[in-house]
Amino acid sequence: MKYKTILLLAVLIVMFSCNQKDKKADLQSGIWLGEIEVAEGKKVPFLFEVNKVSSDSATVILLNGEERFVLNGFSLINDTLIIPIIAYDAELRGIISDNKIEGKFLKHYIENDPGIPFRATFGVLNRFEPVDNPTSLRIDGKWDVLFIGENRDTTHNVGIFKTDNNIITGSILTLSGDLRYLEGAYTEKGVQLSAFSGLTPYYFDFNFIDENSFEGIFYTARGTTRIIGNKNDAAELADPYSLAGLKKGFDTLSFELPDLNGNIVSLKDEKYQGKVVIVSILGSWCPNCLDEMAYLAPWYEENRDRGVEVIGIAFEREDDFDYGKRALTQLKERYNTGYTLLFGGAVGRENVAGALPELDNFSSYPTTIYIDKQGKVRKVHTGFNGPATGLFYEEFKEEFNQQIDSLLEE
């Protein structure tokens, strides 16, 4: 009898061990709080939602303010989770255990990338843990914002923020574009904000000096930058049409570049004769460029019959046509882009200058060029401030359509 009991216990132990070994980790549906480590050990919090179709299929959605950035193609191999971020050639990878994930944020375009520490916890609904005695000062409105020690034009940055149910949303506009959909909460002395849309994690920690000024630190994976702000209801950027143009003696562009099928495209092609043409200099790796394409793609479908064309000239991480074709095909499919995309070469001012020799003072992706029916360049717009900027984005759309209407009427 004793022998049978021992044998039964042994069988049960083996069965239990096998079940535990074969048991797969599970990615729970619902809200997760993610954290990516940046400079000085700061952790950038962000929320993401998992919508499971089956045990082997799910959609992961990054949540930033009003933004919903969808990541498809999730895979779970035993306890290893892989969430590809196809738009930016990156991924979130980690081990799942007890509704927690521990791993790395990896960028594939960086050779032998060691990754940035990433972790996540299921069921946490607040990006930042509420404090007991938050400041009574508010950050709502427009601000002149200055980055100290940053290699950029620091005199014309604009912050725009609003508070709703103690949750802060907004963005900071620079001459090259906005710093994404920031979201955050009040601290005892100021404000903390973060954003992660699949490429660069951002974290801001501000302390109010008084109701009209703040100072703090901007954290990324690359380092820190001191930042100061002053309330200014009239804050605005420098004129984006004044920063770039054509070299003296030129009024047209003369590029000849391959489309995604390898066919050489030029503004001399019959397709563009007698039409208003918008040329966008972009990169599939550039968040502000994606914001512009998200606007231009449906706009083109609605307006192409009016005698207007759009051309996107992309400069990618590698000077390789096949690499560029893959990146741009994914971009085209994601935004259902009907206008022509061309491969300009590798990212870099010198390559832009080589592909577009008439362009002067190029400084930012995207840069958008307005060409009239006679093929003459009429305006060059530097940067793009997207929907995260609220009022500024609405003003851009109105101005953009007025520009096109004027050129079409000529």
Q: Are residues 219 and 345 in the same domain?
A: no
The rounded percent of the chain whose pLDDT value lies above 70 is 91
- Residue 113's domain comprises 30-122
Q: What average pLDDT is seen over the chain?
A: 91
Q: For residue 301, what is the domain's CATH number?
A: 3.40.30.10
130 falls within a domain? no
Decide which of 375 and 175 is more confident.
375
Q: Are residues 174 and 209 in the same domain?
A: yes
Please say which residue of 175, 206, 231 terminates a domain: 231
pLDDT at residue 17 tops 60: no
Quick one: which of 183, 168, 170, 176 has its CA closest to 147? 176
8 falls within a domain? no
Collapsing DSSP to helix, strand or coil, 109 comes out as coil
Cα–Cα distances (Å) from 151 to 144, 148, 205, 223, 285, in that order, read 17, 9, 20, 13, 20
Residue 33 to residue 20: CA distance in whole angstroms? 27
Q: For residue 114, what is the domain's CATH number?
A: 2.40.128.120
Sign of CA dihedral 220, 222, 223, 224: negative
Q: Are residues 90 and 152 in the same domain?
A: no
Q: Are residues 292 and 403 in the same domain?
A: yes
Q: Are residues 185 and 253 in the same domain?
A: no
First to last CA, the chain: 102
Q: Are residues 250 and 167 in the same domain?
A: no
0.75 exceeded by the pTM? Answer: yes
Beta strands (DSSP E) in 220-295 are: 224-231, 245-246, 256-258, 264-266, 276-282
Q: How many domains does the chain have?
A: 3
Range name among 138-152, 225-239, 285-299, 305-319 with the lowest pLDDT average: 138-152
Say if strands 202-210 and 213-219 run parallel, antiparallel, or are unpaired: antiparallel
Q: Encode pLDDT of 348-384 as tens digits.
A: 999 999 999 999 999 999 999 999 999 999 999 999 9
Q: Are residues 254 and 365 in the same domain?
A: yes
AA identity, residue 298: P
Where residue 56 falls among pLDDT bands split at 50, 70, 90?
low
Q: Encode pLDDT of 324-351 as tens digits.
A: 999 999 999 999 999 999 999 999 999 9
Q: Two tokens at 246?
A: 């054509």
